[in-house]
Amino acid sequence: MSDTLRRRLLLAAPVALAAWVAVLIGATWAQRWSYPYDLEWMEGGILAHAWRIQQFEPVYGDPSAEFVPMIYPPGYYVLLALVGGPFGLSAPLGRALSILGTLAACGALVWGSREHLGRWVPGLVASGVYLGTYELTGAFQDLVRPDAVGLGLLAWSLVVAPSDRPRAATWAGVLLFLSFTAKHNAGAFALAIAPALWVLRGRASAIQFSVAFFGPAMLFTGAVQLLSGGNFLAYLLAVPASHPMKWLRFLPGTPTEIGTAMPVVCVAVAVLALTSAVREGPRWPVPGHVLPAVIAAGILVLATQPFKENQGGVGASGLILVGAGGMASLTGLIGQIARRRIDGHWLYGTLVVGTAMVTAGLMRGHHGGFVNVFMPACWVLSAAFGVAISRAIDDAPADNGTALVALAAAIQLALPATTTDLSRFLPTEADRAAGDHIVERLRTVEGPVLSPFAAWMPALAGKPPSVHLIALWDVGHKGGPFPDGIEPIKDSIRNGHWGAIVDSKDAMGYGARRFYRIDEEFPLEGRALTPRTGWKARPTMLLVPKGGGS
């Protein structure tokens, strides 16, 4: 048997496992796609934004009883509104766009692997690894949220940017701009791409990328800011800035959470950084591999110590990545500067991984930051894992090296395939029946309906969608740019503006129970209509103005 054939047979196992993970996740998407109600409680609020665009109503106006925007840019809303023109605005439509975004992100891994590594296998394995982070990232790969579409565009920007193809830098800038319009945190990657491109492809490429990204981004931001009367940046930046930070979620929380789901990936990427440091590090009297080894050992000891929000265990691999990998990258940079030769590909990978981890940590640490913020970091680490696989195949002895690579990749891929209970993310017939009952009940209500926990339900009943509770919470923090932002809601509740309020046992507050009374408690079987991810609050009762009925 030839060496080539043996290697292909050894690598067939992780490729097959990657395909199996894709089948499992794809089957989950298929069973969730057509569900008309919220799989995550903010889905309906996203649809409400697209509905307002279709109605030519302002999105970033002053807070009102009818609408308060969420703290995202409008790119995904506009796309949803445009596609919803011919097809009708619905949750299945929004999920279809997100599924396409996730598939695009996986496609970028495969294309990038062939383009930059000359191999398909690392990209196929990396795609399976990313899909396997479905549970870690809150099952957001197929939700009516901007995350998946934004990531699909970001992923293609990241794999196109270092290519030597004509106009690659320009296309990378355009793709990053489009990603920025969906989730503005994508813009942070421009600070990694531009300097790395300068080293890798020269000043002209860095300028082309910068013009293609920063030019449209500034024009877009300025135009939306002008059209919104100055409110756009207030919602996008000033509102989040008024929220508190939970720094334990940043460190050690973020690397530990990621490491728990991606232990093999984190260790492999740390090893990649360490071996690169040995190659690029300064020629000290101490052998080059000793310092990284000491750092790795020290981080391992620290990482296994328990702390408040997370415990050690396999999550320590994430801290090894941040500690050992970060120090090794610094060592490599010092060595390259000393030799006056910086490797552009190395710099590109280091800056992109660093940016992904820092932005993920900051967003996770933000008050209310959910695990969906890990999606870009998980994609970047999956891509880096593909690079580590390719490097190991090249550097290690033929059969033993390939076998080790195949085993490591198979272990990582087997984790989601064997430990994740995907059934808990699936809606049931009881969920549908409960949702159908509420929608039919809302059809009988005269006037508008306030449904802050399920903002799209009034729209399904033929009424305008509701303001969402998360938006009220966002503008209600002290020190924010809208100090009286929730007053219109309180006034409208006091004046009986809504014909009914769909409330929850987790009571929305703002005087709803003072000026409205319970007219019906919905017949919910077990945990029917509970969101399958994120906050588990659900609509449980109908309130009507005191002294009246519906």
**Both structure tokens of 232:** 């756009």
Cα dihedral sign, 458-459-460-461: positive
Contacts of 218 by beta carbon, 8 Å cutoff, 6+ apart: none
Residue 289's pLDDT is 47
Residue 304's pLDDT is 46
d(CA 338, CA 56): 58
| Cβ-contact 174, 160 below 8 angstroms | no
Residue 342 main-chain phi, psi, to 5 deg:
-105, 125
Return the H-helix or E-strand segment holding 524. none
Domain boundaries, the chain: 100-420, 429-545
Residue 510's pLDDT is 96
* Closest alpha carbon to 160 in 149, 176, 146, 182: 176
Query: Could you give the count of Cα atoms lying within 13 Å of 379 in the half-sphere of its Cβ?
Result: 33
Query: Would you give per-residue pLDDT tens digits along the chain (550 residues)?
Result: 556 666 777 789 899 999 999 999 999 999 999 999 999 999 999 999 999 999 999 999 999 999 999 999 999 999 999 999 999 999 999 999 999 999 999 999 999 999 999 999 999 999 999 999 999 999 999 999 999 999 999 999 999 999 999 999 999 999 999 999 999 999 999 999 999 999 999 999 999 999 999 999 999 999 999 999 999 999 999 999 999 999 999 988 999 999 989 999 998 898 888 888 776 655 544 444 444 454 444 444 444 444 344 444 556 778 778 887 887 788 788 878 877 888 899 999 999 999 999 999 999 999 889 999 999 999 999 999 999 999 888 876 556 667 878 888 999 999 888 888 999 999 999 999 999 999 999 999 999 999 999 999 999 999 999 999 999 999 999 899 999 999 999 999 999 999 999 999 999 999 999 999 999 999 998 999 999 999 999 999 999 999 755 4
Task: Say if residue 549 is exposed, middle or buried (CB neighbours under 10 Å; 0-12, 13-18, 19+).
Answer: exposed
- Rounded to a whole number of angstroms, the distance between the first and last alpha carbons of the chain is 79
